[in-house]
Amino acid sequence: MLKVNNLNVHYGGIHALRGVSIDVQQGEIVTIIGSNGAGKSSLLNAISGMVKYQGDVLYEERPLPKQAHKVVKSGVCQVPEGRIIFANLTVHENLKMGAYLRNDTKGINEDFEKVYNLFPRLKEREKQIAGTLSGGEQQMLAMGRGLMSNPNLIMLDEPSLGLAPLLINTIFEIIVEIKQMGKTLLLVEQNAFKALSVADKAYVLEQGVITASGSAKELLADSTIQEAYLGKKNK
């Protein structure tokens, strides 16, 4: 579904991504793990058309447009780090904003129902001003808003950031449910254990370079990965 070849991103003199290549098959959850500043968000932002890059990004074997709105129209959406909801709009209005490129009223109404079934708490708060929601509820809203664009590929940037442990479990359960809805997910996440627990495949990104890849189970069992990202020391 998605193939990234030899991706390079520069911010002035900083070479943030250096020859990054990944691929995502339809129906998979693929996770990118790595420490702060490794380039994980830069990768998603490049795919989304939010930052300039050199290299190739192919979606369903065709070059993905480099303009953000055209990327969304192609069937790819990103749920950004930090949620970035519309704080002064209601929950329902935020979700409606996710469908701004669509004009299929019947499909939009069906997707409202799907999002409210996936996130019952949002249904309870649909008339509430989004800025008054808890952090976990705002993360649910950001994910729901992304789903309202009816994407085939949804990219999640640090969905568990700043959330209480109980809510982190809920968010990852919902990620699995989104996969079961037939969506493909590319997940950037600092909580490596949780990310690898739900993913099919994983890449390790360090200082802008992919240093390891494989099935999520393989990386979970790798002693080097355990020591670096899972808090387990080698014996």
Q: For 25-83, how does the pLDDT look when each residue is reduced to its tens digit (9 = 90+)?
A: 999 999 999 988 899 999 999 999 999 999 999 999 999 999 999 999 999 999 999 88
**Strand partners for 22:** 4
- State yes or no: pLDDT of 14 exceeds 90: yes
The domain in which residue 61 lies consists of 1-75+151-159+186-235
Query: Does some domain include residue 166?
Result: no
Q: Does 198 map to a domain?
A: yes
Per-residue model confidence as pLDDT tens digits over 142-166 = 999 999 999 999 999 999 998 999 9
Q: What is the pTM of this model?
A: 0.93
Q: What is the CATH number of the domain that holds 60?
A: 3.40.50.300
- Residue 49 inside a domain? The answer is yes
Domain-located, residue 119: no
Alpha-carbon distance of 20 to 214, in angstroms, equals: 15
The answer for residues whose C-beta is within 8 angstroms of residue 146's C-beta and 6 or more apart is 77, 78, 79, 98, 154
Residue 235 has pLDDT above 60, yes or no: no
